[in-house]
Each structure stands twice: as C-alpha cells, then as structure tokens.
Amino acid sequence: MVRVYTIDSTPEGEGIVSVYLVVGDRYSALVDAGPSNGSSRVLEFVRRLGLSVDYIVLTHVHIDHGGGAGTLSGALGSRVLVHPRGLKHIVDPSILWEQSRQALGPVAFYYGEPTPVEESRALQVEDGFTLDLGGATLKVIHTPGHASHHMSVYLVEEGLMFTGDSAGVVVDGVVRVPTTPAPFKPKLYLASLERMISERPGRVAVAHYGVVEDGLGYLRWHLEEMRLWLDEVSRIVAMGVTDPVSVAEKLAERLENARIARSSRIAHLYYNTVAGITRVVLDGEWP
C-alpha cells in the first residue's frame, strides 16, 4: 500500500515549503528536500516514523526546494535524482548560492546556504524516467518554464502530481498565484501545464504548500490564470510602467489574486513573480 506524507520544511513558522515522503512496499523517496535551514524538521519527521529514505527526487534546485539535499542525503544515505541541468548545482552549489543571494536578498539567508550533495550520490534523470518503489511508481516529467531544470513527478497509482513550482502556489488556502521569478519562460511554462493536464491527475501536490484535491481542475484554472497575469502585465508595461515594483502595485489594483498575494506572508514570492513576468514582457517573449 502506498503511503504519502506531507512534511513542513519551513525554517520558521509553518505552511510555506512542502516536502513529500512517498513510501512504497520496498523503497521510499522524498520529493524535494526543502531549504537547508529546514533539514532538521524533515529528518525529525522521517526518524519519528522509523523509515529509511532511499531516494530524494528534486523538482528543481532552487534553494527553498533543493537546498537541504546534501544534509539529508548524507544523513539518510539517499541517492539524489535531479534534472540533468541541475546536477552540477547540487554537487557544487556555490554559484547557485551567489545567484540566490543576489535575487532574494535577506530571504536567501532565511532559507539557508545549500549543502552540497556527494557526487557519488547524485543521479541525473531524463524525461519519462520511472522509479519503482514497490507498488508506487514515480514518473518524471520535465516541466521547464519556472526554471530550465524543472521537473514534475507523477505518482501513477495514486493519480497524484507533485508539481514543484511548475503550477503556482497555494498558501493558507486563499493565496493561489504563480511563482515565476526570472529567468521565466512563459511559453514553456504553459506547455508544461498542458503536459501535466494530459496526465489527468486527480490531485496535485504543490511545493508551496500541500495537496489540492481537485488536481485537474486546479491545473486548468492555473493555466488560464497564468495567461491572465501575462496579459495584464503586458497592458501595464504598454502604459509605460516598467519598474517591477510599480508593475506589481498596478497589477494588485487590477487582479484580486494579485492583491491578496501582495498583502500575504508570501509577498516576497509575489514581487519576484511579477519581476519575472515583467522581464519576459520587456524582452518580447510575451505575447
């Protein structure tokens, strides 16, 4: 029987960053590792259950989702599966950390400096790769857009899609918005959503935060919401407003979900998202 657990890897507080533990008849796997500063929470959860973890499957290597991979793989003896483009960044995360500090500022230190994964434990996986845990099959689906190295993970038997950051965020049950910092590729992002929809998942598990029961309905809704945000930012930029913070303020005046996100505890994700969308509009990548 397949068991799936949601682990809160938020460094302080709760309900911001999800890690998922999938337990099959023979093996178990973590989907994502969470931030480095949340590793102790993940370890405590796993050890309380008395389980071993054979694999850590990273949806992407951004520090809030892959930063703890080195600590966890070392403590648990796990192999780390990652997109080919992300492999070098988990073995040597120094460039990733520098870029994260530049992009996130103080938020980077909240998540913590990523810990390197021992090279012998790191394995790159191609699109369509499957991992048999014993009655639980994890299917890797490359889903670029949020990041070039992003992949989603589909638990076939349960119809459960682990989306990482390829399908936005759902925090506190009311904040339902994209998360698309630069470099964002909108057409790849939308195509990735279409691909996940084609699997017809019953539920989705987002990286920020938790499981959405109407998975297919949510993905379809998010696809249209993403197009709406892109179009609205395009209209704002066409008015001559190009500073990302100013664009974010204008967007919050126009869209209810943007207004909610701006005033929420994930406001930093909102402003980073609008910055990413503004950049692609200015660069002519949308419409």
- Residue 56 has a pLDDT of 98
Helix (H) or strand (E) holding 169: strand 169-171
Q: Using 50, 70 and 90 to split pLDDT, how confident is the model at 262?
A: very high
Q: Using 50, 70 and 90 to split pLDDT, how confident is the model at 1?
A: confident
Residue range 165-171: mean pLDDT, rounded: 96
Question: Is 34 strand, coil or helix?
Answer: coil
Helix axes 267-282, 244-254, angle to 10 degrees: 110
Question: Is 65 strand, coil or helix?
Answer: helix
Cβ atoms of residues 109 and 99 within 8 Å: no
Percent of the chain with pLDDT over 90: 98
- Beta-carbon count within 10 A of 189 CB: 27
β-strands 169-171, 28-31: how paired? unpaired
d(CA 32, CA 41): 13
Residue range 77-85: mean pLDDT, rounded: 98
Which domains are present in the chain?
Answer: 3-176+184-215 (3.60.15.10)
Lowest mean pLDDT among 67-76, 91-100, 131-140, 172-181: 172-181
Residue range 199-215: mean pLDDT, rounded: 97
d(CA 232, CA 235): 5
Q: Using 50, 70 and 90 to split pLDDT, how confident is the model at 271?
A: very high
Percent of the chain with pLDDT over 70: 100
- Residue 13 has a pLDDT of 87
Read off the amino acid at residue 65. Answer: H
Cβ atoms of residues 276 and 184 within 8 Å: yes
Taking alpha carbons only, the member of 74, 52, 58 closest to residue 119 is 74
Taking alpha carbons only, the member of 196, 185, 254, 253 closest to residue 221 is 196
d(CA 282, CA 113): 31
d(CA 10, CA 182): 23
Q: Using 50, 70 and 90 to split pLDDT, how confident is the model at 173?
A: confident
